[in-house]
Structure formats: structure tokens, C-alpha cells
Amino acid sequence: MSQYTAAKRRITVDEICAGGFSTPLDAPTVPPFPFEFRNVEVLTLAYRSDPAAMACLLPPPLELTGDVVLIHIYKMNDTDWLGPYSEANVMFGAKLPEAGLAGAYSPYLYLSSEVGVVHGREIHGQPKKLGIPRLEARGDIWAGTLSRNGIDIVTGTLAYKQNRAALSALSAILDFSNNFNLKAIDHIDGTPAIRQLTARRLANIHVHECWQGACTVELRPNVQAPVYRLPVAEMLDGFYWRGDFTLVPGTVLHDYLKP
């Protein structure tokens, strides 16, 4: 087993040093790879922003590739380990010239699951914080909101299932399949332990349906969830899509602590 179960014996050093290990000993928090997401509903909002503001949130040596921001609001209906929860991922296009790679960098993520927050921060290095994303049908629209501290910091709308599309139409606006993150963890003495750029792709993606149309995006300031630092300059299309996928191990793209 990849996760130690402290039931009738003492844990070994080899088990502590093995991949996939997580504490507490008898009820680990972080799921081991891979784990599946089934019947996920997503509202993706696309808009143009200020490239100068976007560049301020991008760690070197990543470089900006455009002015489009995507906000994904996920309704995770059935997930291994985590159960049902909700998540919001804010991202924009970036590239790593030294590796010849392009993808999307995430400066902000918010979700309702403590397990998801811990896993995202400890493993991927994602900047996850607790929040309350919501995705629901309200009459003839899809409404997506993200709130923290009782403030709706993101509100997005899309007409309810008017124009069928393929997910490739969303990828044409911004290919977000390769997700970049800045992983930063210190030793207990305050010295740097991990300073990396990481990347991950989803596997076994199966899209059940996809719908496209004009969207609206409204941002409200919150100092603890500063998505407003990526201001809306022009609203583009939105997408409602539903599918399944698997989260698998990623890669280290750049290690700041190596010579």
C-alpha cells in the first residue's frame, strides 16, 4: 500500500520515506496518485486583462504569452478521497523558454475542501486557500460565484445550454492543459526547502458535453483573495462543460535552489 495504516504495528522508516506518505499516521490527509474526478461540472469564464498586471504575478523565468485570463469554477460531484466539493482556478498563459514549454500559470486557487487545499499546496505547490465557489443553474443562465470572507469576489454568467461546442474551442482561446505552479516550502528553521516551478496535466479526460457563449465577469476586491488584480478589460466567451478526468503525478520544471 502507498499509504501507511497505523493499526496494529509501528511504522517503519522505509514507509515514512516512501512516495505517497502523508500524516496523520492512522488517517492520512493527502491522497496518493492517481485519483479520479467523476461527473465534474465546470464553468470557464474567459476575459482579456492588463498584461502589465498579469506580469506582476508571474514568477521568473516564466514569461507571459497573452492577455487572456481564465477562471474555472468547478463543481466536483464525485472525487476519490475528497468527496463532493467545489473549486476555482484562476490562470493565464505562460511559457518556460528554457524548456520549450507553454501552458497556463495559476496565481490563485480557492476551494471548499480542506483535503484539496492541503494536497494542492503540499504536492503541486498550488496557491490554494479556502473559499466558497458555487456553480448553479438560475433559470436560463449558469451562474458561477466565488466568495471568501462573505464577499463574492467573482461573479460570472453564461446562457444556459444555447450553443453546443467542443472543448477544443476553449483550448483555442487559451491552452490550459499544462498547468504551471510555484511551489514554495520552508524548513522549520525558516530556510528554503523547496523552490520549484511545477507542472501537471490531467489524464483520462472524457468530456460528456460542452456549451459555449458570451459570458459576463465581475470582480470585487478582497485583500485575502485579490483576483481583482487581474482587471476585466474585455469579456470573451464562457463555457459550461461536464466530464471525467484523473489526477496523476506531475513534473518539476525548474528548481531555484539548484546551481
Antiparallel, parallel or unpaired: β 179-186 and 101-111:
parallel
How many residues make up the chain in this entry?
A: 259
Cell triple for 139: 433559470
Q: What is the DSSP letter of 208?
A: E
Closest of 238, 198, 221 to residue 105, by C-alpha: 198
Task: Give Cβ neighbours of residue 178 (< 8 Å, ≥ 6 apart).
Answer: 101, 102, 103, 104, 199, 200, 201
> 233: left (phi > 0), else alpha (psi -120 to 50), else beta?
alpha
> What positions carry a catalytic annotation?
128
| Structure-block grid coordinates of residue 17 | 520515506
Q: Please calculate the CA angle 163-70-223 and round it to the nearest 5 degrees.
A: 135
105 backbone dihedrals φ, ψ, rounded to 5°: -95, 140
CA distance 179 to 127: 12
